[in-house]
């Protein structure tokens, strides 16, 4: 069922052997998305409405795009009680972890007369995209909205496909209402991303666009990345399960199936140093696949871009996992916490038998919007930092400026930017040395400034 890669005794780069979901032929899709985004930027509402008729099969006037407060309240009331309770619990768990991520502002005053600061400022408006066509994912509402709220973003706009009836999926609207989101746009696909990023007569523009979606949504985020902050551009989901002789074969099997049921293009990797473990897993996996609700897509995923990699030892297993840089890395090995501390390349790490990836999808508290396709080598999962902007602040007094003036003069001369040097020189050259000495000693008097010729007063103060 799973192809086997024997990596034992191999000196080859594991990245050359590992499976990945096949890359789509993007040229045509990218061209179409680029044209659509440009059309929305130019024609606004008219382009969005045309795209909705073409791709969603609905003809909604712009006045009907935004869900009303009554519609949101009705969607919240219609939530199944068990789903409502689950959403509230997930919200609490995700909010607690993301609020704990909030960085503290930095103030540095180690040099006399210098005060440097770094403040973390929330974005003004966050745009969230949540799929709601063939599948509806209220958990994605939680995973995108809660970090923005934890960051202190004052305005959040959510876009989701209108559905065949033009009303939007009730579980998406209900989850938004539970979170207090009152701006929900029934717009789907690449046109929603473009409308949020550029703004139209009806849809106010945002400062960021995050959230999962199909290929066209991902490509649209690439097109607008010079206009707004975006999260990653995720591809098909993936998991790597590192398991040794201590692992329970059934847990390995059910976790592979759980990931494969997402998508026929899901990549599922079992990495082990124990061939007997795979022998034990294989028949259990066959039984689990036969009984699963989405057998066709699971079988296609496992036979397509999935594999068992047999290694010499734990170090080799870790090298394989690091080369794969998976979205999810699950550790079913001895001393899993110690192994987790060694991991550098993974979107999220799930440690030990009681922490399955499925828990992270819904209720661990960590975020399930994670990098795929090897981008975990340089990218991370969605967090509060995606909705904060660090801003640096500098404040010098005159003696401190005078101390830095020679450095500014030398560098501005070397770079042939003499006006830079002059901007500092006119401030320090006209200060009476005695006054400067008094001020340095703490006299606290503000020296008078003269123009560079010394012929007339130039006012008070240094700013």
pTM, 2 dp = 0.89
pLDDT digits (tens, 9 = 90+) for 228-255: 999 977 778 999 999 999 999 999 999 9
Phi, psi dihedrals of residue 394, rounded to the nearest 5°: -125, 140
Q: Which are the catalytic amino acids? A: 327-328
> Which of 60-65's residues contact partners 24+ apart within 8 Å by CB, and which partners?
60/162, 60/166, 60/186, 62/200, 62/201, 62/202, 63/202, 64/166, 64/186, 65/162, 65/185, 65/186, 65/187, 65/202, 65/203
pLDDT digits (tens, 9 = 90+) for 258-302: 999 998 989 999 999 999 999 999 999 999 999 999 999 999 999
Range 418-437 average pLDDT:
79
pLDDT digits (tens, 9 = 90+) for 105-155: 999 999 999 999 999 999 999 999 999 866 789 999 999 999 999 999 999
At which residue do the structure tokens 């849809």 appear? 203
| DSSP class per residue in 348-369 | EEEESTT--HHHHHHTSSS-S-
According to DSSP, the β-strands at 307-310 and 4-6 are parallel
Question: pLDDT exceeding 70 applies to what percent of the chain?
Answer: 91
pLDDT digits (tens, 9 = 90+) for 67-111: 999 999 999 999 999 999 999 999 999 999 999 999 999 999 999
In this structure, the number of other CB atoms found within 10 A of the CB of residue 343 comes to: 17
Task: Put the strands of the sheet holding 155-159 in their side by side order.
Answer: 183-185, 155-159, 125-129, 208-210, 229-230
Alpha carbon 420 to its chain's center: 38
pLDDT at 404: 97
């Amino acid at each position: 069922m799973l192809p086997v890669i024997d990596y034992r005794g191999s000196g080859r780069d594991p990245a050359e052997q590992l499976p990945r979901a096949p890359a789509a032929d993007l040229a045509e899709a990218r061209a179409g998305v680029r044209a659509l985004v440009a059309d929305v930027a130019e024609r606004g509402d008219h382009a969005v409405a045309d795209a909705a008729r073409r791709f969603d099969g609905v003809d909604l006037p712009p006045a009907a795009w935004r869900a009303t407060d009554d519609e949101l309240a009705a969607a919240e009331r219609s939530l199944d009680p068990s789903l409502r309770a689950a959403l509230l619990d997930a919200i609490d768990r995700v909010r607690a972890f993301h609020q704990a991520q909030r960085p503290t502002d930095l103030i540095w005053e180690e040099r006399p007369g210098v005060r440097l600061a770094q403040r973390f400022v929330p974005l003004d408006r966050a745009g969230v995209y949540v799929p709601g066509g063939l599948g509806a994912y209220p958990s994605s509402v939680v995973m995108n909205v809660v970090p923005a709220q934890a960051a202190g973003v004052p305005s959040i706009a959510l876009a989701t496909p209108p559905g065949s009836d033009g009303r939007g999926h009730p579980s998406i609207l209900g989850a938004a209402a539970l979170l207090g989101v009152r701006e929900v746009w029934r717009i789907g696909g690449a046109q929603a991303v473009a409308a949020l990023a550029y703004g139209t007569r009806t849809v106010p523009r945002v400062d960021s666009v995050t959230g999962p979606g199909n290929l066209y949504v991902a490509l649209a985020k690439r097109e607008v990345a010079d206009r707004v902050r975006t999260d990653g551009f995720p591809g098909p989901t993936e998991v790597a399960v590192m398991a040794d002789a201590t692992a329970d074969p059934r847990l390995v099997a059910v976790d592979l199936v759980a990931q494969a049921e997402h998508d026929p293009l899901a990549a599922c990797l079992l990495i082990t140093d124990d061939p007997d473990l795979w022998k034990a897993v294989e028949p259990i996996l066959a039984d689990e696949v036969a009984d699963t609700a989405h057998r066709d897509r699971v079988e296609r995923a496992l036979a397509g871009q999935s594999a068992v990699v047999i290694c010499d030892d734990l170090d080799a297993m870790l090298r394989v996992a690091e080369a794969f840089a998976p979205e999810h890395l699950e550790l079913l090995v001895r001393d899993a916490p110690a192994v987790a501390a060694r991991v550098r390349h993974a979107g999220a790490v799930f440690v030990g038998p009681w922490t399955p990836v499925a828990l992270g999808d819904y209720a661990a508290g960590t975020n399930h919007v994670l990098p795929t396709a090897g981008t975990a080598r340089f990218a991370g999962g969605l967090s509060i930092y995606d909705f904060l902007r660090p801003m640096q602040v500098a404040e010098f007094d005159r003696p401190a400026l005078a101390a830095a003036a020679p450095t500014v003069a030398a560098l501005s001369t070397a770079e042939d930017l003499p006006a830079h040097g002059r901007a500092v020189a006119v401030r320090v050259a006209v200060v009476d040395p005695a006054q400067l000495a008094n001020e340095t000693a703490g006299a606290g008097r503000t020296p008078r400034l003269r123009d560079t010729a010394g012929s007339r007063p130039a006012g008070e103060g240094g700013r």
